Every structure is written in C-alpha cells, then in structure tokens.
C-alpha cells in the first residue's frame, strides 16, 4: 500500500506530463481528480488519486505493453 501524500501542482504536472491549463481543463470536465483545499490559498492533489488516474489512462490505451 502506498503512503498517502498531497502533491502540489508543479509535482502533478511533472508526474502526468501535462501543463497546468490542461489539468484544470480536464478537472472542469470531470476527467481529472479534483484538488483538495489545504488552506485559504493552497490546494493539492492526493497522490493515490493521481496514480489511479494514470492507471486508468494506461489501461485505456490501444498501444501494446
């Protein structure tokens, strides 16, 4: 079982290989995990949700593994 962590936007972008604008666009359409409000001015994403999203994307490809 993986340790639960909160990832900041810069980390999420690096992990998934997307720009912030793309992440927010996907979030608004319901195609990316929602952010978690940490403080009045800070948000993050749960690493297990990001890893699950990646797993779903890998599973949805037609490219041979």
Are the beta carbons of 15 and 25 closer than 8 angstroms? no
- Asked, for residue 64, whether it belongs to a domain, the answer is no
Tell me what pLDDT residue 1 has: 56
Q: How much is the pLDDT for 21? A: 98
Which pLDDT score, from 0 to 100, does residue 59 have? 87
Mean pLDDT confidence for 39-50: 97
The mean pLDDT value for 18-33 works out to 98
pLDDT at 46 over 80: yes
Reported residue count of the chain is 65
42-46 sheet: strands from edge to edge: 6-7, 42-46, 36-39
Tokens standing for 33? Answer: 């995990």
Q: Is residue 1 part of a domain?
A: no
13 in a structural domain: yes
Q: In the chain, how many domains are there?
A: 1
Which percentage of the chain shows pLDDT scores above 70?
Answer: 89
Which structural domain, as residue segments, surrounds residue 20? Answer: 6-59
């Amino acid at each position: 079982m993986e340790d639960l962590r909160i990832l900041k936007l810069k980390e999420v972008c690096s992990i998934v290989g997307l720009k912030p604008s793309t992440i927010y666009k996907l979030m608004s359409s319901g195609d990316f995990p929602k952010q978690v409000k940490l403080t009045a001015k800070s948000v993050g994403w749960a690493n297990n949700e990001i890893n699950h999203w990646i797993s779903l994307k890998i599973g949805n490809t037609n490219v041979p593994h």
